[in-house]
Chain A
Amino acid sequence: MTDLKRRNIVAALAAAPLAVPLLTQAQAPDASSKFKTIPSRERIRQRYFPNLVLTTHEGRTVKFYDDLVKDKIVIFNMFYAKCEGICSPITRNLARLQQMLGNRVGKDIFMYSFTLKPKEDNVEALAHYAHMHKAKPGWFFLTGSVADMETVRRKLGFVDPDPEVDKDLSNHIGVIKYGNEPLERWGGCPGMSSPEWIAETLSWVDWPKNQAKLKANGGAK
């Protein structure tokens, strides 16, 4: 990269949306210390949920944090439509989970499947995949620019520390991450767990008044 020229930079800037807004507006420093006072929920947003523009399988444009995560209970996983490995069983698992969670999906619980192959998985391909798996409202299949989807993958920890292993997309498919954004409770579980068990793990981050209910509907202890 020693031949970096101004025009390359400008081209790069134009081509790639600035994915990582690490630099937030200055916060008023606490007078008594050299540190900023940033609410932990805001810090989590800054760290993990850049407000990238993504596209749903319905062709809608959404912002990662504002539209998908904020104020919600969410379930994240990674997939790609032509995956012949464990994508399908996990997607079937999630379809059963959606059934089990009933009308709460789309209301306060949302399911997001992010493609690992944004070049292949355009809106049409995603729509087909969603239809094939009988996804109901409240479950979104998402694509975006290659750079943005890569940022989402890394931010959500669907990564392997070994760069060679990391290149194999199948290594990012087996895990589901879940959380309750306003309650700041996050976790993960294997995507091949039983839907009952996934529902139970989700109950741990549910709104306190609902916790028992979700458990009763889903997992048996």
Chain B
Amino acid sequence: MAYISKRNRKKEKDRQTAANNRAELIAAGFKRRDLLKMGLLTSAGMLIPKKGLSAHPLNTMGAFDDDEPNSPPTTPFVENMPRLPVLAPVASLTPAPTIAPNTAAGEARTVPHQAFAQFPPQRFYELSQQAGTVLMAPAGELPPQTIWGFNGITPGPLFVEHYGNLGNPGAGSILVRQRNNLPANNGGFGLPSVTTHLHNGHTPLESDGFPCFFMEQGQFYDHHYPNVYAGINSTHPGTGDIKEAMHSLWYHDHRIDHTAENTYKGLAGAYILFNEFDTGNENTGFRLPSFGDGQNPLTSFDIQMVFNDKVFDNDTGLLRFDLFNTDGILGDKFLVNGKIQPVLHVSPRRYRFRWLNTGPSRFYQMFLLGPSNSTKSFWQISTDGNLLERPVQVNSSRFAVAERVDVIVDFTNDAGKTFYIENRLDQQDGRGPTGDVLGAGQGNKILKIIVDGPVVADNSVNPATIPAGTYFYGFPNTNDAPRITRTFRFERGNGQWQVNGQLVGGCNQAPRFAIKRNTVEKWIFQNNSGGWQHPIHMHFEEFQTLSINGNPPASTGLITRGRKDVFRLEHNMEAQVYFRFRDFVGRFPLHCHNVVHEDHAMMVLGIIDDVGDNKTQP
């Protein structure tokens, strides 16, 4: 399926041929009704591919590939973009959280909390994973959709958390009780068995959402998030390394083999973290646009945007998921915060937008399309929620599934104008983008932004006036010698995904490799394929890129130096990345975040312990 209106001459020719054939059939005496009866023509007028009657092969959705989208039409830019509701803590949990798994009470956790005593939770939350009913399009255009969401909404409620401080590093520690209240009846897709990953918290690994640590219906699982900086128990005892701060995270289902359908069905949300520098208040610290209460348009200028693409059944109007697809699923409807192509009204001032792509398989390259097909530049301030050295002025940001990009857009001089967030990256199927970047106005307009809000004070820093040099934290050094260098080759064999020629194995197998706690490792990611691209995600720690195809990242732009947890492994690419694994132990996955690939075993399950191993090609 292709949903970007790029001209494809071959397809045009093929379509013309099919039309000619159809005309010939009709001229030969077959009425359209006869063809319909014989099953040779679909109601949409496309010939069914028999003996070359159509150029369009049957795809795995049981429909026919065409340049036209499969979903019913919807009217864009009618509904306002919802701002995500902020999750409120609860006074207490019943039963009270325990260090050991409370199996008797129905807790699915099997490993005791390792840092509960050190960082006792200061706040408690409870989230119910349950079915909900939502409207994704203007009323009357698509029927109400049954989704699975955290507290029954999608995206889930927004976590707004704070790191601890110098005197009390554990002040930000929280405990989140996840409850599985999902129904047995899934409405066609979804497995009511779940595990929630906080992507990409420095989280004790029993709370991280390991794919095999799932809970069944009726069970609960306590996740302890200390919200501390990496290094807290090792290189920077008592404080952690401020250069390891993360600010834009997200949480989502990670059920082994069933993540794609469960996240597509709605089990994803965002999680933001402030500290004494990135304060959420534009009068303090780095003076980034204020978060306010996250709702009031006159005081809230730090806005989370959760992007995803979906397909709706043409007959029923309901969300559809391709059950047997193994290469990746593209939607033809683009949602922001749960609504198809909504509208955002802003004031003439600076905003921080937090962009998150929850997939399932699409790569985006977002531009700001302005009047007369102009392109407005903006400032990228982070990669995967990690602040760069300073804001970088860009015309676009590219991000694959699970990647996050925080940007500052300055609408100060734009009163009265209209802009669109436009994806111009051409992608035809789940293999990844073609590499073509379409012209201004030729891509998918995803969000309409109208600068018609009242003039309000803007005390946020103007990135254009920041003096040369480091403005944010700077990056941790990469000078410590790695204990080991490991290579991970991502490939496909016999239609299966493999890493280093091996399958994922399964939850019942021993960890494929062991990382020694508080050591440095260098990893090499390889993609020998010219056909596929993979967003490779490592849990628990952020990495720094040492080289891409042999070149140091400095030569490929400032942004590629940023700390990340997803590496966009493009065609025939080899990258070297640098990790410090600190403080906590436990099981983790390394995997492709095209969630369809992930569900088909493009994953390695490892462990962090105090021994480690010397497998260079796990």
Residues of A within 8 A of B (CB): 1-2, 4-6, 9, 12-13, 16, 18-23, 27, 30, 33-38, 40-41, 43-44, 46-48, 85-86, 147, 151, 154-163, 165, 170-175, 177, 179, 183-194, 196-197, 200-201, 204-205, 208, 211, 219-221
Contact = CB atoms under 8 A, between A and B. Distances in A.
Give 5 nearest A-B pairs by CB, closest first.
A157-B324, A174-B494, A40-B188, A197-B506, A174-B496
Contacts, number: 193
A184 B189 contact: yes
B508 interface: yes
B43 A23 contact: yes
Contacts of A4: 21, 24-25, 28
Contacts of A219: 506-508
A184 B21 contact: no
Nearest to B326: A157
A48 B495 contact: no
Contact of B39 (A12, A22, A30, A46): A22
Interface in B29-87: 29-30, 36, 38-40, 42-43, 48, 50-53, 57-63, 72
Contacts of B185: 184
Contacts of A192: 496, 503
A211 B218 CA distance: 15
Interface string B467-502: 000000000000000000000000001111000000
Nearest to B140: A33
B42 A37 contact: no
20 contacts: A4-B21, A4-B25, A18-B38, A20-B62, A35-B315, A35-B317, A44-B188, A85-B494, A157-B326, A173-B495, A174-B495, A175-B494, A184-B185, A185-B186, A189-B257, A189-B601, A193-B503, A194-B505, A200-B506, A204-B257
B193 A204 contact: yes
Contacts of A221: 212, 507-508
Nearest to B600: A188
A104 to B, nearest CB: 20
Contacts of B187: 40, 184
- Which of A18, A19, A27, A190 has the most B CB atoms < 10 Å from its CB? A190
A221 B110 CA distance: 11
Contacts of B29: 6
A175 B60 contact: no
- Which of A22, A159, A163, A193 has the most B CB atoms < 10 Å from its CB? A22
Given A208-B184, A219-B508, A221-B508, 13 more contacts: A1-B20, A5-B28, A16-B50, A20-B58, A35-B318, A38-B316, A147-B50, A154-B58, A172-B495, A175-B326, A187-B191, A188-B324, A189-B257
A160 B495 contact: yes
A205 B502 CA distance: 25
A23 B42 contact: yes
Nearest to A4: B24
Given A156-B324, A200-B508, A36 B42 contact: no
Contacts of B184: 183, 208
B189 A186 contact: yes
Given A20-B39, A187-B258, A196 B430 contact: no
A36 B315 contact: yes
B162 to A, nearest CB: 37
Contacts of B72: 35
Interface residues of B, number: 71
A60 B316 CA distance: 36
A37 B318 CA distance: 10
B409 to A, nearest CB: 36
A186 B50 CA distance: 28
B506 A175 contact: no
A35 B137 CA distance: 14
A9 B47 CA distance: 13
Interface string B1-39: 000000000000000010011001100111000001011
A72 to B, nearest CB: 16
Q: Is the interface of B mostly helix, strand, loop or mixed?
A: loop
A197 B51 contact: no
A150 to B, nearest CB: 9
A156 B61 CA distance: 9
Contacts of A171: 494-495
B177 to A, nearest CB: 22
Contacts of A27: 315
Contacts of A20: 39, 48, 58, 62
- Which of A41, A154, A159, A161 has the most B CB atoms < 10 Å from its CB? A161
B324 A155 contact: yes
A170 B212 contact: no
A204 B191 contact: yes
Contacts of B326: 157, 175, 188
B132 to A, nearest CB: 17
Nearest to B23: A4
A183 B187 CA distance: 9
A44 B316 contact: no
B510 to A, nearest CB: 12
Interface string B498-531: 0000011111110000000000000000000001
Contacts of A165: 531
A175 B320 CA distance: 23
A43 B60 contact: no
A46 B509 CA distance: 38
Interface string B384-422: 000000000000000000000000000000000000000
B28 A43 contact: no
Contacts of A177: 324
Contacts of A30: 143
A204 B430 contact: no
